[in-house]
Amino acid sequence: MNALLDLYNHPAWTHPLQHPLAYYQAVALLLLGLGLFGLIWRKSLVGMLVGVELMLNGAGLSIVAGAQLTRADAAMGQLAALLVMGLAAAEATLVLAITLVVFRRFGHVEPDHASELRG
């Protein structure tokens, strides 16, 4: 109850211009939530990949907002987001290859039904 009251009185509620970091973080967390939802809810590997890309975008946005809007080194934050983009590209390539292998072997790309050990 006390925490809720603190949250209600938080200065971030006043105006986005007074506390912009909280708003950027809210967008980043929105992307994280949507990505996790898609990752669990989707049935095909490609749909799950879309969810992962959403999450990685949220991570990059959070890093850049945290670096640009606090006293942290802005250049390092931007470069960290750039590294996240590079990792996302590598990950997408690998998932494409894995998707192709799964499709070739099972005829579909649904991880729920891709199992060879089921009797």
Partner 1 sequence: MDRLAVAAFFGYALTVLAGGLIAVLASSLVRALAGLILTLFGVAGLYLLLSSPFLAFMQILIYVGAVSVIIFFAIMLTRPPAGGEEGERRSLGRTLLALVGGLAPALLLALACWRYGSASNRVPPSVEVGRLGEVLLGPYVLAFELISLVLLVAMAGAVLLGFDRRREP
Count residues near partner 1 (CB under 8 A).
79
Among 5, 9, 42, 111, binds partner 1 (CB under 8 A): 42
Distances (CA, A) of 113 to 43, 99, 103, 107, 109: 10, 14, 12, 10, 8
* Token code pair at residue 77: 């934050």
Is residue 114 part of the contact set for partner 1 (CB under 8 A)?
no
Residues in 1-30 at the binding interface with partner 1, rule: CB under 8 A:
3, 6-7, 10, 12, 16-27, 29-30
Q: How far is the CB of 94 from partner 1 (least distance, A)?
A: 5
Query: CB of 45 within 8 A of CB of 109?
Result: yes
| Cα–Cα distance measured from residue 104 to residue 78, given in angstroms and rounded to the nearest whole number | 39
Q: How far is the CB of 77 from partner 1 (least distance, A)?
A: 8
* Token code pair at residue 23: 């708003």
Q: How far is the CB of 118 from partner 1 (least distance, A)?
A: 19
| Cα–Cα distance measured from residue 107 to residue 112, given in angstroms and rounded to the nearest whole number | 13
* Token code pair at residue 22: 């909280």
Residues in 51-110 at the binding interface with partner 1, rule: CB under 8 A:
51, 53-54, 57, 60-61, 64-65, 68-71, 73-76, 78-79, 81-83, 85-101, 103-104, 108-109
Between 62 and 119, whose beta carbon lies closer to partner 1? Answer: 62
